Every structure is written in structure tokens, then in C-alpha cells.
Amino acid sequence: MSATALARAIFWVCLTVAAYTYVLYPILLFLVYSWVQMRRDLRYLIFRDNRRVGEAEDSALPKVSLIIPAYNEERYLVNKIDNVRALDYPPERLEVIFVSDGSVDRTNGILESVESVNMKTVFLQSRAGKANALNHGVAASDADILCFSDASTLFAPDVICRLVRHFVDPQIGVACGSVRLVGTDESRLTEGFYWRFESVLRLMEARLGATLNASGCVYAMRRECYRPLRIGELIDDFTAPMNARKLGYRVIEDPEAIATEVSADSIGAEFVRRKRLAIGSFGALKHAFGLPPLSFTSFAFFSHKFLRWILPLLLVGLLASNAVLTTSLPYRLVFVAQIMFYLWAALGFAFRNSIRSFRFALFGYFLVTVHLAFLIGFWQYLLGRTSSAWQKIG
């Protein structure tokens, strides 16, 4: 095979996969979702089969342990404590466990000053990472339902009620909430826009029974589904639901269980988070082998997760192969389009402080940053350069 033929093959593979990941899969997902939703609506119209989950009486509500790991969270902790106190779940059926993972700021002092019969704190002497903190929190709890959150996350008052109602069904092992991001103008026009697209995909997948992972700041699970996390685990919200699936339980998402999370202050901070996410994602890839091979869940994982993780490698291949094929006009046009995209990203980086108020001005910079973070995270994973210690990104 000649160099030109090889470049042409690489070009078309990379272009096809990139287009499938961000364009064709969302369209296909929407078509399947629309068909399934139409069938469900017709069934309701004809048979009055109500699909909505009912609300349980207070006397039937299970005991819940809300576990909140924290590392140097003095910035958010007071608001989090007030938010927990405002939850409308019966206090006698809710225990709140804060786990301070070797915090060195005012976190421990704030937690020590809390006076509440249903709040307790586990103080860890050394910083060992979120997975270790979650393990300690679960060990300190005695409830049948475990709910997880972050110190920077604020729950709507009815979140826990909405999550636990699903466990009336013995097949449900994990119930995931929905996250709304708040932050700076920069994050709202970059990560916020990207997250809205991501949320739409996740909601359609959930309605098709293919919820792939939880949002780590708002999900609940049966205690028997929890398996102690490996120290150094970076994406517990992917591993924990996968463990539940392996035990034969279903994982669902409730879009009415709403939590508000603070996004990264800047694209640079988002780069740090995405790099750790990449390391954790490739480290947790082995858990996906437990999915039924011919299920829609496996198809969604391959299309939405795996291809997204390896896409940075394909984008490099697309640019490099396209550079060899510029003697042909169609290839030359695609090459120019790629150069213009990366130029857009470079201009966004160079003038990020002065153009951040313009809609989509920084979005190219954000997309390149996200994929670059995953590329670097992939190589760090291969080299074994991982760390379980938390890194503040806000």
C-alpha cells in the first residue's frame, strides 16, 4: 500500500468516526428515542398505563445515608450544610455523613462546629482520594439506601425523595439525578453549552434503559450494590453503577431529581478536571466488559463513551493524513476547514480575557482543550502517572 493510499484510509476512518460520534450517533439516538417514546405514548392513550413513579408516604420512606466527601471545601461547606438542613426528607430517616479527606483549610473546623443529631463527620488524617473517603463514609453508615453528593453541590429540597421512590422496584439498584451547572460567563458559554448537549444525550439514553454512569454529585444506590472502591479510583460515578449492573440491577436516571453544581471557573481549570477524568476513564474501561455484548447499553457505551475517549487520537490522525492529501481539492477544503477550526481555538486562547463575552468565541478553544486533556490523560495513564489525591479546580 502506497503512502497516499494509507493516508486516504486513515483520513476516512478518522473522519467517519468523528462525524459518527458527534453527529450521526445523536441523530440515531434521537430517532430511536422518538420511536420508543411514541409507542409508550400510544400505550398510555389506549390502555391508560401510567408510567410515572408515585410518591411514597413518609411512613414508607427508607432510611438514607447521605455521604459527602470533602477536601478543603471551606468555600462551599457552610452553604452545603444549610442546604442539607433544608431537605424535605424526614430527619429521623436521614443521616448525613461528611468525610474530611485530610483537609488542611477550615473544613474540619466548620464541620466540628455543626450541631445536629443526624449529622456526623469522619475525619481522615491523611489525604487518600475520593474513593477512600467514600469507602469510609459507607462504613460509617447504617442505612439501606446510600446517597452521594459533593460539598459544592446544592440539592433541590425534594431530591432524596425523588431518588428513593425508585427503589420500590426491586430491580433498580442505582438512581441518578440530574445536574444543572452554574458558574462564570466563560463557563456558561463553553462547558455549560457542552453540558446541555451531553445532558440531552444522557436523558435519551436513560429513557432507553441505557444510563451509563451517574453524576457523582447526585445519585443513590442500594447498600447491597456498593462494593468498596479501589484506592485511586478516579471515576466512582462510573464504577459504582457498573458494579450494580454486574450484580443484575438496573441503573436509571430521574430528570426530576435536580442538583446544582458549580462549574470550573475557567477553561484552564476544566483542562485539569478533564485530564483526571481521562486517566480514570481508561483505568475503568475494564468494567465495561461486564455489559451484555449485544445490548443497547453496550452500543451506547461504545458510541457515547469509548469513541469519545479515543477521539483525540483520531483527530490527530485526521489532521496528519489530511496534510498528505492536499493535492486534491476536496481534501484541501477539509484541510483548510481543520486549520480554521484550530485557528479559532488559538485565537480564543490568545484573547480569552477580551472576547469571553461574545457568544461561542471561546467554544473552539474549549473543545480543543477538552480533547487535548484526554490525549494527555491517555498518555499519563499508559505511563502509570496517576494520582488518587483530589485536585481543586474551582
Specify the pLDDT at position 339: 96
Q: What is the pLDDT of residue 47?
A: 72
Confidence class for position 394, pLDDT limits 50, 70, 90: very low
CATH number at residue 248: 3.90.550.10
More confident residue, 211 or 293: 211
User: How far is the CA of 75 from the CAs of 70, 148, 151, 383, in angstroms?
Assistant: 11, 19, 9, 34
pLDDT value of residue 56: 58
pLDDT beyond 90 at 161: yes
Under the banding of pLDDT at 50, 70 and 90, the label for residue 35 is very high
pLDDT grade, residue 393 (50/70/90)? very low
Torsion of CA 302, 172, 141, 71, to 10 degrees: 30
In a domain, 15, yes or no: no
State the cell numbers at 233: 479510583
Average pLDDT over residues 137-145: 95
CA distances from 134 to 130, 217, 236 (A): 6, 12, 9
**Amino acid residing at 304:** H
Give, in degrees to the nearest 5, the angle at Cα 67 between 170 and 60.
40
* Cell output for 369: 482543550
pLDDT of 49 reads 63
Is 235 a member of any domain? yes
**Residue 390: pLDDT over 60:** no
Rounded Cα gap, residues 2 and 4, in angstroms: 5
Contacts of 329 (CB under 8 A, 6+ apart): none
pLDDT at 311 over 70: yes
Lowest mean pLDDT among 57-71, 133-147, 310-324: 57-71
Q: How far is CA 254 from CA 53, 62, 167, 202, 220, in A?
A: 10, 18, 12, 11, 11
Q: Where are the alpha helices (DSSP H) in the chain?
A: 3-19, 25-47, 77-85, 107-112, 130-139, 159-164, 185-189, 191-207, 236-246, 267-283, 296-300, 307-324, 329-350, 352-355, 363-382
- What sign has the CA pseudo-torsion 112, 105, 126, 268? positive
185 Cβ neighbours under 8 A, 6+ residues apart = 356, 357
- Does any domain span residue 241? yes
**Cell output for 118:** 443526624
Residue-wise pLDDT for 58-108, tens only, equals 557 899 999 999 999 999 999 999 999 999 999 999 999 999 999 999 999
Domain-located, residue 14: no
Please report whether residue 253 resides in a domain. Answer: yes
Range of the structural domain that residue 179 is part of: 62-264
Using CB atoms within 10 Å of the CB of residue 184, give its burial: 0 to 12 exposed, 13 to 18 middle, 19+ buried.
middle
Our count of domains for the chain comes to: 1
First to last CA, the chain: 50
Q: Considering the chain, what percentage of its residues have pLDDT values greater than 90?
A: 58
pLDDT at 117: 79
Residue 129 included in any domain: yes
Whether pLDDT at 204 is above 60: yes
Question: Residue 122 belongs to what H/E stretch?
Answer: strand 119-124
> Is it the case that residue 294 has pLDDT exceeding 60?
yes
202 burial (CB, 10 Å; 0-12 / 13-18 / 19+) is: buried
The residue that leads in pLDDT, 247 or 289, is 247
Residue 258 has pLDDT above 50, yes or no: yes
175 φ, ψ (degrees, to nearest 5): -120, 120
User: Is the confidence at residue 392, as pLDDT, over 60?
Assistant: no
Say whether 305 sits in a helix, a strand or coil: helix
* SS3 state of residue 206: helix
Give the pLDDT mean for 322-341: 94
Q: Give the strand pairing for 250-262 and 172-182.
A: parallel
Predicted TM-score (pTM) of this structure: 0.86
Q: What is the pLDDT of residue 41?
A: 79
**Tens-digit pLDDT profile for residues 14-30:** 999 999 999 999 999 99
Q: Name the one residue in this structure whose C-alpha cell is 408510567.
A: 51
Stretch among 123-137, 216-230, 258-272 having the lowest mean pLDDT: 258-272
Average pLDDT, the chain: 88
* Beta carbons of 151 and 80 less than 8 angstroms apart: yes
Residue at 50 is within a domain: no
Rg (CA), the chain: 23
Kindly report, residue by residue over 270-291, the tens digit of the pLDDT: 888 888 888 888 888 877 777 7
Nearest to 80 by CA among 88, 89, 90, 70: 70
Question: Which has the minimum average pLDDT: 184-188, 195-199, 250-254, 377-381?
Answer: 184-188
- Give the per-residue pLDDT at 387: 60
Residue 200 lies in a domain: yes
Sheet holding 172-182, edge to edge: 119-124, 94-101, 64-70, 145-149, 218-222, 172-182, 250-262, 154-155
Question: How much is the pLDDT for 358?
Answer: 74
